[in-house]
Structure 1
Amino acid sequence: MNTKTVVPLFSASLVNGRFDLAPVLQRVLDSNSYILGKEVTQFEQEFARYTGVEHCVSVANGSEALEIA
Structure 2
Amino acid sequence: MGTAITVDLTGQTLETMVRPAMQYTPAILSVAGRFGSVELLGDDEQLANIAAAINNHLNAKEQSA
TM-score when normalising by structure 2: 0.34
TM-score when normalising by structure 1: 0.33
Q: Per residue, is there more helix in 1 or in 2?
A: 1
User: Bigger radius of gyration, 1 or 2?
Assistant: 1
Higher relative contact order (CA 8 A, sep 6+): 2
Q: Per residue, is there more strand in 1 or in 2?
A: 2
